[in-house]
A = this chain, B = another copy of it.
């Protein structure tokens, strides 16, 4: 029988508040069975870049990663945030290991074409080494991924954390029954102040057209739908980070 794995993505805005992050990690540590945590970077990367005189540039809400900015993301995502999360989880009896895609070449990517939009040092995922991840999990070690990948030539690349979570879900669905949970600061996908309990492809088109779903939520749900369509993915859910263990949030279904 296949085991269930929980793949949890924690949004940047929770990472910006140490108390919220600690509460979330308490909950995450208490999940039994195989699990993976994927985290974004929060506002710290922008703050540090500002202080170092490196301009943060965004196109339609997506970061443009210059050669200087990839160094900042390495420092903040792979260094500061990742290792603080790992040390905290280990202290909560949840042995964890911090990983970028470069480590053991576990997530290999290819630099995105500069056409039509040049996002700089940004990678699209080509390959995930599910064997390596499974071995860690079989040794009771929880992988904690930040949103950095690498290409075959050793160039480090920035990859959206939502995308890392989805690609892990799709790849690991060949080995486990996957629950993919996106945690952020809201209770789910909202419409007029209430949570939409379920969204499928058709509803998504409608909700985009009437403007209920817009900006950053569009790529998030597009990604989530891709996972939901994958055999072996049991469910895909978007919920409040404060309700990791007992939330219902919004289910994204095929």
Whether A154 pairs with B83 at a CB distance below 8 angstroms is no
Which residues of A line the B interface, CB within 8 A? 48, 51-53, 71, 74-80, 82-84, 86-92, 95-100, 102-105, 132, 135, 139, 141, 148, 150, 152-156
Interface of A is mostly: helix
CA gap between A87 and B155 in the complex, in Å? 7
Chain B residues whose C-beta falls within 8 Å of the C-beta of A150 in the assembled complex = 87, 90-91
Whether A98 pairs with B100 at a CB distance below 8 angstroms is yes
Whether B80 pairs with A152 at a CB distance below 8 angstroms is no
Considering only CB atoms, which chain B residue lies closest to A152 in the complex?
Answer: B91
Give the distance to chain B from A73, nearest Cβ to Cβ, in Å: 9
A79-B79, A97-B104 are known contacts. Are A87 and B152 too (CB-CB below 8 A)?
no
Q: Which of B79, B99, B154 sits near A78, CB closer than 8 Å?
A: B79
Q: Which of B71, B92, B96 sits near A104, CB closer than 8 Å?
A: B96
Chain B residues whose C-beta falls within 8 Å of the C-beta of A82 in the assembled complex = 78-79
Give the distance to chain B from A23, nearest Cβ to Cβ, in Å: 15
Chain B residues whose C-beta falls within 8 Å of the C-beta of A155 in the assembled complex = 87
Considering only CB atoms, which chain B residue lies closest to A73 in the complex?
Answer: B79
Whether B154 pairs with A90 at a CB distance below 8 angstroms is yes
CA gap between A129 and B104 in the complex, in Å? 19
Considering only CB atoms, which chain B residue lies closest to A47 in the complex?
Answer: B52
CA gap between A6 and B88 in the complex, in Å? 31
CA gap between A173 and B192 in the complex, in Å? 64
Give the distance to chain B from A55, nearest Cβ to Cβ, in Å: 15
Q: Which of B71, B87, B104 sits near A154, CB closer than 8 Å?
A: B87
A51-B51, A52-B52 are known contacts. Are A102 and B90 too (CB-CB below 8 A)?
yes
Whether A75 pairs with B79 at a CB distance below 8 angstroms is yes
Chain B residues whose C-beta falls within 8 Å of the C-beta of A90 in the assembled complex = 102, 104-105, 150, 154
Whether A154 pairs with B88 at a CB distance below 8 angstroms is yes
Whether B78 pairs with A71 at a CB distance below 8 angstroms is no
Whether B74 pairs with A83 at a CB distance below 8 angstroms is yes
Give the distance to chain B from A95, nearest Cβ to Cβ, in Å: 6
6 closest residue pairs by CB, A with B: A79-B79, A91-B154, A75-B75, A87-B102, A75-B79, A87-B154
CA gap between A48 and B150 in the complex, in Å? 24
Considering only CB atoms, which chain B residue lies closest to A135 in the complex?
Answer: B139
Residue with the highest number of chain B CB atoms closer than 10 Å, among A51, A79, A139: A79
Chain B residues whose C-beta falls within 8 Å of the C-beta of A52 in the assembled complex = 48, 51-52
